[in-house]
């Protein structure tokens, strides 16, 4: 039984979701709320495997990649999300199964199948912020983190990923234009969360 609140941040690389997740955390903590932060891929064994293998282009097939993200998520749900939500905490989560639908979907795996296999075990989020940015601009923001020779290939891929993110609908889904000033974005997110809480 879920008693807390699950808030998810999604978006392509360079959209600024980790920054916004951190700002929201601080704002909620400052209000005296009980908040915890988790991210996927996690720091657990599956998360470490993902960072070692899946994030290096073409070292795994899309199916193998999917399998690792699924294992990592199952563990995250059981070990982190469920216990925190049962303690009535507000959980801020940086990436969730929307990322799998978008990223592994963009590699050709059927999106519906990915959604179904996740909906069998995930806890549905109360709010999902999808930060939307042009891949070229997103990649510019994180340029120093990426290898330059792969930027073009990466951009083509992220164009597909972004399209899938843009297509998510639902009353818990909020699309945010991420090219707006940082403060404007964080205010909008905070307002949405506070409205939800009251
Ligand atoms: P990211 O949040 O960008 O982590 P870091 O801060 O280490 O860069 O996530 C790493 C990558 O993993 C990102 O490019 C998206 C990808 N990813 C998937 O392909 N599928 C998934 O299910 C998840 C959660 C992430």
- The verdict on the CB of residue 154 being under 6 Å from ligand 1 is no
CB 76, CB 8: distance < 8 Å: no
State pTM to two decimals: 0.95
What tens digit of pLDDT does each residue of 3-62 get?
Answer: 899 999 999 999 999 999 999 999 999 999 999 999 999 999 999 998 887 666 778 899
Could you tell which of 41, 96, 107 is best to mutate to test the pocket of ligand 1, judged by most ligand atoms within 8 Å of the CB?
41
Could you tell which of 16, 17, 99 is best to mutate to test the pocket of ligand 1, judged by most ligand atoms within 8 Å of the CB?
99
- The verdict on the CB of residue 40 being under 6 Å from ligand 1 is yes
Peptide bond preceding 60 in cis form (omega within 30 of 0): no
Q: Which of 76, 79, 83 is nearest to 39 (CA)?
A: 76
Q: Which of 66, 146, 77, 71 is nearest to 109 (CA)?
A: 66
The CA 32 to ligand 1 mean position distance, Å, reads: 30
The domains found in the chain, sorted by start residue, are 5-197 (3.40.50.300)
Angle at CA of residue 38, ends 32 and 41, nearest 5°? 165
Give the sign of the dihedral formed by CA 137, CA 168, CA 65, CA 73.
positive
């Amino acid at each position: 039984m879920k008693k807390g609140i699950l808030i998810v941040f999604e978006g392509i690389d360079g959209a600024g979701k980790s920054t916004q997740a951190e700002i929201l955390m601080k704002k909620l903590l400052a209000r005296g709320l009980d908040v915890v932060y988790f991210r996927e891929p996690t720091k657990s064994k599956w998360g470490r495997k993902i960072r070692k293998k899946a994030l290096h282009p073409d070292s795994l097939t899309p199916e193998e990649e999917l399998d690792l993200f699924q294992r990592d998520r199952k563990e995250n749900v059981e070990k982190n999300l469920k216990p925190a939500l049962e303690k009535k905490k507000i959980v801020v989560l940086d990436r969730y199964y929307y990322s799998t639908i978008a990223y592994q979907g963009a590699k050709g795996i059927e999106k519906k199948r990915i959604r179904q296999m996740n909906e069998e075990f995930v806890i549905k989020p109360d709010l999902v912020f999808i930060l939307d940015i042009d891949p070229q601009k997103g990649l510019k923001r994180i340029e120093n983190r990426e290898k330059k020779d792969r930027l073009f290939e990466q951009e083509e891929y992220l164009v597909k990923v972004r399209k899938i993110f843009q297509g998510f609908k639902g009353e818990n889904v909020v699309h945010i234009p991420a090219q707006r000033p940082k403060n404007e974005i964080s205010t909008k997110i905070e307002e949405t969360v506070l409205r939800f809480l009251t």
